[in-house]
Chains A and B, each alone.
Chain A
């Protein structure tokens, strides 16, 4: 149980374009989903927390107009990187929680490369 999928696993896009990443909880209802980014050999940095049906809460320094998050249902959250630039290249990971933030289940991650 507690499986989270992420799509796509890898994406390469041109600078200035937008990319949408989907995060789905497959076998449980996720009241909260989290979006992280991780640079090579670095820790996970929380970008935003999203609760179903409400606006996402962004961490300090994360541009909400650049990283659009939608949590339309209890099993799906999306992250859209708008007007991507090379510095947005990173590993983006979502996680889902059914109630306890202490126990999060992570998706497999999406490797974004902006050329």
Chain B
């Protein structure tokens, strides 16, 4: 089966950089995804890493190390609107299994 571990909460200051880590255990691995969810809203897809390394999309970057079963989401130049929950997820066959989510609090 799959299991994903990520911190339950992270607090950072507006304008700063924050990293949200995710470790996973899987029977088979196809890639690590990240999703953002604001309170009361649906998750939105942020990024996907199938290979080792860093993928950058604007202020957000995602990193994967398959040998360490580890990845992270990096958010730069934090804005108040980035306050949300962030979920890492792995694919198992034709479905996605989500981590429990990291709630990001941003202080002005």
Contacts and interface: CB of A to CB of B under 8 A. Distances in A.
Interface of A: 32, 34, 41-44, 46, 49, 93, 95, 101-109
Given A32-B94, A42-B100, A102 B48 contact: yes
A34 B48 CA distance: 18
Given A43-B87, A44-B87, A104 B98 contact: no
A42 B39 CA distance: 11
Contact of A106 (B33, B42, B95, B103): B42
B95 A109 contact: no
Contacts of A103: 33, 45, 48
Interface of B: 30-31, 33, 41-45, 48, 50, 87, 91, 93-101, 103
Contacts of B95: 34, 46, 49, 101
B43 A102 contact: no
A10 to B, nearest CB: 11
A12 to B, nearest CB: 16
Given A101-B94, A101-B95, A107-B42, 11 more contacts: A41-B103, A42-B100, A43-B101, A46-B98, A49-B94, A93-B42, A102-B31, A102-B48, A105-B45, A106-B45, A108-B41
A102 B50 CA distance: 9
A8 B44 CA distance: 19
Nearest to A109: B42
Contact of A101 (B91, B98, B101, B103): B91
Given A43-B87, A44-B87, A104 B41 contact: no
Contacts of B91: 101-102
A108 B43 CA distance: 8
A14 B27 CA distance: 42
